[in-house]
Structure formats: structure tokens, C-alpha cells
């Protein structure tokens, strides 16, 4: 009951399934070549070891195969990459992010958990440093682009704008020259 209350009151950060232990259960031996034969108990002398092995044998009855082409030969199978066949029509693969060592909070000693957390902290600090360096490079590049923009703007400000060009006097001169040309052509055919 305390375990149920704890699970109910706390965020377990994922799916959890609880099973009541029945002491005195008979050990079920998993079929050879199944996933259950690949798993081992951390403490086989624990009071609940037989029940845990029976649970593993029950849910780990997937035959381990090299690839999905072998699915047709098995009713339930699993590949090394995590694709599992649950029935003739249903195959499932869960590629959610892998658990970090510090996520295994229920296994191992306190020292191992602290070490795993320190490793996670170091990895996070490394990622932060890479991101910070990238941000600094981007800031520097943005500063260079802004300097270039200011230089181009200053250069453009030194030149006249189209509206500043006197096109009227040029049009008058062109008209006068055209008239002189027409006179010369008419005088000298």
C-alpha cells in the first residue's frame, strides 16, 4: 500500500507498472532464445527474485531475431535495434531518448548514482560551452555585418540621389542639339 501511495503522489517520469509479489511461487523457466533469457536479476537471493523472474519470463517471451525478415517464423519477436513483433499485424519500435546512467535511480549504490549525476553535469557543461562558443562566433559575425552595413551606408550617403540629378537642363540641351542637327542636315543634304 505504501508503494502505491508513493507512486500515486509522485511523478514517475514515465510509465510504471506495479505487481503484487506472491511468495512461494514456482519458477517459470523462459523458453531458450527469448529476451527473458538475456535479462538477469541484480540480486537473485532477494525475497521477490522468483516473482521477478516469472514477470520477466512472462513479458520477455519475444524470440531474439537478427532482422524483421525472421518475423514470419515467430509469433512474437524482437530485433537488436528494438523493433518488436507483437502479433501477425502489429510491430512496434520505441525510439524515445535513451536513459542516461543517472536515470537509473532504483539500481546501484549512492556513490554510483552521484558519479552518474556528476557525469551528466559534465556532459551538460560541455554542451553549454559549445553553445556559448557558437553564440560568441555568431555575435562576432553579426558585429562584422553591422560594421559593413554602416560603412556601405556612409559610402552611399556621399553620392547624389537620383532626385538630385538635374535632368531638365540636360533635356533642354538635348532638344537644342537636336534642332541644330536638323538644321545642318537640311542645309547640307
pLDDT in tens, 43-86: 878 878 888 888 888 888 899 999 999 999 999 999 988 899 99
pLDDT at residue 60, rounded to an integer? 87
Quickly list H helices, 88-189.
Answer: 110-157, 167-187
What local confidence, expressed as pLDDT, does residue 113 receive?
A: 78
The C-alpha angle 24, 56, 78, rounded to 5 degrees, equals 160
pLDDT at position 53 is 87
Q: Which residue has the higher pLDDT, 97 or 20?
A: 20
Confidence (pLDDT) at 176: 94
Say which residue the cell 515467430 belongs to: 74
**pLDDT on residue 107:** 58
Domains of the chain, by residue range, sit at: 2-107, 108-159
**pLDDT the model gives residue 99:** 65
pTM of the model: 0.44
Pairwise CA distance, residues 30 & 148, whole Å: 72
| Range 152-165 average pLDDT | 79
Overall average pLDDT of the 131-150 stretch:
96
Q: Is 75 helix (H, G, I), strand (E, B) or coil?
A: coil
Task: State pLDDT tens for residues 76-118.
Answer: 999 988 899 998 889 999 887 776 666 666 556 778 778 888 9
Amino acid at each position: 500500500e505504501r508503494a502505491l501511495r508513493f507512486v500515486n503522489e509522485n511523478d514517475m517520469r514515465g510509465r510504471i507498472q506495479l505487481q503484487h509479489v506472491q511468495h512461494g511461487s514456482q519458477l517459470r523457466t523462459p523458453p531458450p532464445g527469448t529476451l527473458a533469457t538475456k535479462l538477469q536479476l541484480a540480486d537473485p537471493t532477494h525475497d521477490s527474485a522468483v516473482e521477478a523472474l516469472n514477470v520477466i519470463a512472462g513479458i520477455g517471451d519475444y524470440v531474439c531475431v537478427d532482422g524483421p525478415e525472421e518475423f514470419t517464423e515467430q509469433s512474437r519477436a524482437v530485433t537488436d535495434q528494438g523493433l518488436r513483433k507483437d502479433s501477425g499485424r502489429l510491430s512496434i519500435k520505441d525510439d524515445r531518448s535513451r536513459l542516461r546512467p543517472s536515470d537509473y535511480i532504483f539500481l546501484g549504490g549512492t556513490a554510483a548514482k552521484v558519479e552518474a549525476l556528476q557525469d551528466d553535469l559534465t556532459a551538460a557543461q560541455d554542451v553549454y560551452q559549445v553553445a556559448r562558443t557558437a553564440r560568441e562566433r555568431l555575435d562576432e559575425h553579426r558585429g562584422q555585418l553591422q560594421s559593413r552595413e554602416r560603412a556601405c551606408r556612409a559610402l552611399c550617403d556621399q553620392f547624389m540621389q537620383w532626385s538630385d540629378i538635374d535632368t531638365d537642363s540636360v533635356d533642354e540641351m538635348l532638344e537644342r542639339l537636336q534642332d541644330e542637327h536638323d538644321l545642318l542636315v537640311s542645309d547640307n543634304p
